[in-house]
Chains A and B, each alone.
Chain A
Amino acid sequence: MSTGTPLVVVGDRFTDFHAQPGVIAASALLEDLRGGRGTQTLRVTVGQGLTAAQLDELDHFARSSGTLEIDGGQVPHPVERSVTHKAHDKNVLIGPVDDHGGGHYRAPLVLDDRVEVLEDHLTGLHIPAVTLLEAARQMWTAVTEQHLIDPGPRTRFVIDHVRSSFHSFVFPLPAHLEYTLARLEHGAVGQVAAFTVEVHQCGRLAARFEAQIRVVPELFADKQERMAARQALRDTTAGRPAPAAAGALGE
């Protein structure tokens, strides 16, 4: 191991990426650190794919060993799971959200390679688009709840639209998400937020999501969904769709 160019540590499942020069799998690096190293300082860039436990252990070595230096100063950590509306820690894809003012927010991409959207779909060297879309969803969920709406009655997030564009591969290297609020409106049945979320890596735009969501009080959203479900069930069993003029169910 060299003290010059930082070694890039990535998740164990990015096996194709491990063959790149200067890349090491998380478990291999931690095994090396556990075994004790000499006095030579090792510089490490933390890439994507490490589990929360691996990030914690790396952080521990960086703070206690004196011979491990993290590029960028500190080990990234995922945000608390509830912020992203996920049920399992491994599915969190972002770190804490920073408010940059003027409707601009930023968070690191912090990807565990066991995440559900990679579990059965990991091809080649890059992070698949669907993973980035889920990261964007977590970003807008976190920004909306932490910065845009008041705590109060439980709400549901309803997506009006998402337009995605993908500009370059995202590899298991440091990356971040940028949220920019375009519009926030308050109405009779909740709020409407329009925004963009961009994924950046190596100083380049990698993916862009332009979206509009509704934040609807759970009471209204639940009633709307139940009425729509009954309508769909009736239409299915009756073998015909509801006449458009009588529907009044579309947004």
Chain B
Amino acid sequence: MLETNNDLLATVIRNVTDLLEEADGEHPEITGAEALNAIGLNSLLLARLIIQLEMELGVDPFAEGDLVISDVRTVGELADAYADALGGSVAA
């Protein structure tokens, strides 16, 4: 069953928040509008995030097809990428 876009966004935000807390301890509140690189997600942390999300959602939007990580600028757009990969509609 596909998760709703709001569920997907919440899942991504939770994983991002947990990772930032483990990595740094301090981070801004994540709402979805934040740029990935502005909140301290370097390439290695992003790799771990994508692995965690793949384990939770069962899909990696960047593994196949044309989408690459630089196409995704914000946390919300990352959730949109998962929505697309899962066949759902893209959130605004």
User: A242 contacts B44, CB within 8 Å?
Assistant: no
Give the residues in chain A near B30, CB-CB below 8 Å: none
User: A247 contacts B70, CB within 8 Å?
Assistant: yes
* Residue of A214, A221, A248 touching B69 (CB-CB under 8 A): A248
User: A249 contacts B71, CB within 8 Å?
Assistant: no
Closest Cβ neighbor of B37 among chain A residues: A248
* Residue of A220, A223, A224, A230 touching B68 (CB-CB under 8 A): A230
Give the residues in chain B near A246, CB-CB below 8 Å: 35, 37, 70-73
B22 at the A/B interface (Cβ < 8 Å)?
Answer: yes
A158 → B minimal CB distance (Å): 8
User: A230 contacts B62, CB within 8 Å?
Assistant: yes
Give the residues in chain B near A234, CB-CB below 8 Å: 66, 68, 70
Q: Check A188/B23 contact, CB under 8 A, given A227-B68, A230-B68, A250-B42.
A: yes
Q: Check A249/B43 contact, CB under 8 A, given A189-B48, A219-B51, A223-B50.
A: yes
- The 9 sampled A-B contact pairs (Cβ below 8 Å) are A188-B22, A189-B45, A231-B68, A245-B73, A246-B37, A248-B41, A249-B42, A249-B46, A250-B43
In this complex, how many residues of chain B approach chain A with their Cβ under 8 Å: the count is: 25
B85 at the A/B interface (Cβ < 8 Å)?
Answer: no
B90 at the A/B interface (Cβ < 8 Å)?
Answer: no
User: B62 contacts A227, CB within 8 Å?
Assistant: yes
A214 → B minimal CB distance (Å): 8
A231, B72: Cα distance in complex, Å: 12
* Residue of B22, B36, B51, B73 touching A220 (CB-CB under 8 A): B51
User: A224 contacts B70, CB within 8 Å?
Assistant: no
Q: Check A251/B71 contact, CB under 8 A, given A188-B19, A220-B48, A220-B51.
A: no
Annotate A162-195 by CB proximity to B: 1 below 8 A, 0 otherwise: 0000000000000000000000000111100000
Give the residues in chain A near B48, CB-CB below 8 Å: 188-189, 220, 223
Give the residues in chain B near A221, CB-CB below 8 Å: 44, 47
* Residue of B19, B23, B47 touching A223 (CB-CB under 8 A): B47
A228 at the A/B interface (Cβ < 8 Å)?
Answer: yes
Closest Cβ neighbor of A241 among chain B residues: B70
B34 → A minimal CB distance (Å): 11
User: B37 contacts A227, CB within 8 Å?
Assistant: no
A216 at the A/B interface (Cβ < 8 Å)?
Answer: yes
Give the residues in chain A near B22, CB-CB below 8 Å: 188
User: B71 contacts A227, CB within 8 Å?
Assistant: no
* Residue of B36, B41, B43, B73 touching A227 (CB-CB under 8 A): B43
User: B43 contacts A228, CB within 8 Å?
Assistant: yes
Give the residues in chain B near A251, CB-CB below 8 Å: 42-44
A227 → B minimal CB distance (Å): 5
* Residue of B37, B50, B66 touching A245 (CB-CB under 8 A): B37
A152 at the A/B interface (Cβ < 8 Å)?
Answer: no
User: A187 contacts B23, CB within 8 Å?
Assistant: yes
A189, B73: Cα distance in complex, Å: 22
Closest Cβ neighbor of A244 among chain B residues: B37
Give the residues in chain B near A228, CB-CB below 8 Å: 43
B80 → A minimal CB distance (Å): 14
A243 at the A/B interface (Cβ < 8 Å)?
Answer: yes
